[in-house]
């Protein structure tokens, strides 16, 4: 019956009980055909009820306002997300019932419920949850429904605002056996690099030795130490390392945190963090119908890019490892390493890998095998590891429960924690990460 559009909001009034209008029309025809005081009274009563109901609904359509403000935002699994919700009624008519319908997709979190607010009144409440899953989630849109006390009209306030929330995957401390062994940094020539090649990035200083170029002398240190010191430059990377997480749904086992899917993402994210800390160029490739790649780079900013790419990853039908390796091939250079994390015990992808990486180049591939048997499957990873070894591919086995995520790897977990003083007073020992401050410094963090 009525519809208006506002910035970020769509308001409408709909007929909830159409039978009352048929009754009103019937009474009018009856009165015109056979006028009487009884029919006139009934006609006036029904017409008055419809009129009051419509005016009530119009006032609620224009005077009822709601908003939600993100107070604390999650950056990692285990953080607490908190919103403050406000409901204001500027009309003189009370909203006897106000239904919130939230379409957010954050697991275990919703604003849906029923409230009530008097004329000229307001309400506010806090909604919060602990983020238990990685990924990209949307808060909103949401809808507020109310109506007149007779139930004749339905007032809809459709709030179109959306807020995107990115929850980073957890990280873990990896055993040295799972980290690929590559070249050295400093003044030593990296393995498999035919010529010494330094970048323009200095990483330290050392004492001058015979044969060093005078252009490398670091004068501030020389003056402070009263002896000649030269700058040590970071050498050019021996190669780029591509991390390839295998998210073929046919190879996944288990559920929740102990599933192969979550273990693969945990390993991929942790390997990226470790290799970047060791000053390697690291990239991630995700195959499928629309392949996505983060080109190898180094530095902390690269880690955030890789984590953003890994956070929403889930198995996609038809995305087998052989296909991913074929899609990755055009991006590889002769000195690149491919680091595969998979639970697939299929010799087909091994043949694809052998075509991708020259047989003589034993350092061109590194495979982390998730043992299917430990995740509830039937196959043994140890047997498949021998197949890889015979083809010259180095691998390591990861079993269920061996790799555990660490809380607070991106900083302290953001949640409410209280402590009681000796006087009995309770104070907040830890508070959630404020959304406004985080968004204001988001670029600086990355």
Surface-to-core class of residue 47, CB atoms within 10 Å of its CB (0-12 exposed, 13-18 middle, 19+ buried): middle
Q: Is the pLDDT of residue 368 over 50?
A: yes
Q: Which residue has 């104070």 as its token pair? A: 427
**Predicted pLDDT at 202:** 62
CB 209 within 8 A of CB 216: no
Q: Is the pLDDT of residue 424 over 70?
A: yes
DSSP state for residue 251 in the 8-state scheme? G
Q: Is the pLDDT of residue 378 over 60?
A: yes
Q: Which helix (H) or strand (E) holds 30?
A: helix 19-33
Q: Which residue has 């330290």 as its token pair? A: 204
Mean pLDDT value across residues 419-428: 72
Nearest partner of 410 among 71, 107, 166, 127, judged by Cα: 166
CB 287 within 8 A of CB 246: no
How many CB atoms sit inside 10 A of residue 385's CB? 19
**Predicted pLDDT at 203:** 62
Q: In this predicted model, which residue has the larger pLDDT, 213 or 87?
A: 87
Cα separation of 199 and 254, whole Å? 45
**Predicted pLDDT at 184:** 36
Mean pLDDT value across residues 399-414: 81
pLDDT tens digits, one per residue of 123-176: 999 998 988 899 999 999 999 999 999 999 999 999 999 999 999 998 998 999
Share of the chain above pLDDT 90, in %: 58
Q: In this predicted model, which residue has the larger pLDDT, 399 or 444?
A: 399
Mean pLDDT value across residues 176-181: 87
Q: In this predicted model, which residue has the larger pLDDT, 261 or 76?
A: 261
**Predicted pLDDT at 391:** 79
Domains and CATH numbers, the chain: 1-168 (2.60.40.3880), 183-237 (no CATH), 239-398 (3.40.50.410)
Share of the chain above pLDDT 70, in %: 85
Q: Is the pLDDT of residue 429 over 70?
A: no
Over the chain, what is the mean pLDDT? 85
Q: In this predicted model, which residue has the larger pLDDT, 126 or 206?
A: 126
**Predicted pLDDT at 188:** 38
CB 153 within 8 A of CB 147: yes
∠294-300-304 over CA atoms, to 5°? 50
Q: Which residue has 């000053």 as its token pair? A: 279
pTM reported for the whole predicted model: 0.76
Q: Is the pLDDT of residue 227 over 50?
A: yes
Surface-to-core class of residue 367, CB atoms within 10 Å of its CB (0-12 exposed, 13-18 middle, 19+ buried): buried
CB 242 within 8 A of CB 285: yes
**Predicted pLDDT at 292:** 92
Question: At residue 387, what are phi and psi to the nearest 5 degrees?
Answer: -65, -45
Q: Is the pLDDT of residue 441 over 80?
A: no
Q: Is the pLDDT of residue 394 over 50?
A: yes
**Predicted pLDDT at 418:** 64
Mean pLDDT value across residues 196-216: 70
Residues belonging to the chain = 446
Q: Is the pLDDT of residue 200 over 60?
A: no
Q: Is the pLDDT of residue 431 over 90?
A: no
pLDDT tens digits, one per residue of 280-311: 899 999 998 889 999 999 888 899 899 999 99
pLDDT tens digits, one per residue of 16-62: 999 999 999 999 999 999 999 999 999 999 999 999 999 999 999 99
């Amino acid at each position: 019956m009525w519809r208006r559009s506002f910035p970020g909001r769509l308001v409408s009034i709909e007929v909830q009980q159409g039978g009352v209008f048929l009754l009103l029309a019937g009474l009018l025809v009856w009165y015109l055909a056979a006028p009487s005081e009884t029919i006139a009274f009934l006609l006036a009563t029904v017409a008055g009820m419809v009129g009051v109901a419509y005016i009530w609904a119009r006032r609620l359509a224009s005077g009822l306002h709601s908003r939600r403000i993100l107070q604390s935002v999650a950056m990692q699994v285990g953080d607490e997300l908190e919103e403050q919700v406000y409901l204001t009624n500027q009309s003189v008519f009370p909203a006897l019932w106000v239904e919130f319908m939230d379409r957010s997709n954050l697991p275990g979190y919703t604003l849906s419920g029923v409230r009530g607010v008097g004329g000229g009144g307001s309400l506010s409440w806090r909604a919060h949850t602990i983020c238990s899953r990685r990924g990209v989630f949307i808060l909103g849109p949401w809808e507020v429904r109310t109506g007149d006390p007779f139930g004749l009209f339905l007032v809809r306030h459709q709030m179109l605002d959306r807020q995107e929330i990115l929850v980073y995957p957890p990280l873990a401390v990896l055993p040295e056996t799972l980290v690929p062994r590559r070249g050295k940094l400093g003044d030593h020539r990296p393995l498999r690099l035919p010529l010494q090649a330094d970048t323009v990035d200095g990483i330290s200083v050392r004492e001058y030795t015979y044969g060093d170029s005078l252009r490398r002398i670091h004068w501030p240190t020389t003056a402070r130490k009263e002896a000649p010191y030269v700058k040590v430059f970071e050498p050019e990377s021996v190669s780029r390392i591509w991390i390839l997480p295998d998210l073929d749904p046919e190879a996944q086992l288990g559920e929740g945190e102990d599933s192969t899917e979550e273990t693969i993402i945990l390993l991929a994210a942790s390997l990226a963090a470790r290799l970047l800390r060791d000053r390697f160029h690291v990239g991630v490739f995700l195959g499928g119908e629309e392949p996505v790649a983060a080109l190898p780079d180094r530095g902390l900013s690269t880690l955030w890019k890789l984590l953003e790419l890994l956070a929403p990853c889930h198995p996609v039908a038809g995305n087998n490892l052989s296909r991913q390796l074929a899609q990755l091939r055009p991006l590889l250079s002769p000195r690149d390493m491919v680091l595969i994390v998979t639970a697939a015990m299929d010799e087909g992808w091994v043949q694809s890998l052998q075509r991708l990486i020259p047989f003589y180049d034993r350092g061109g591939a590194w495979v982390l095998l998730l043992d299917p048997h430990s995740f509830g499957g039937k196959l043994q990873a140890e047997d498949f590891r021998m197949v890889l070894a015979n083809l010259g591919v180095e691998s390591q086995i990861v079993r269920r429960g061996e790799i555990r995520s660490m809380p607070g790897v991106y900083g302290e977990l953001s949640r409410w924690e209280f402590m009681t003083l000796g006087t009995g007073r309770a104070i907040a020992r830890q508070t959630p990460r404020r959304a406004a401050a985080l968004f204001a410094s988001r670029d600086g963090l990355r």
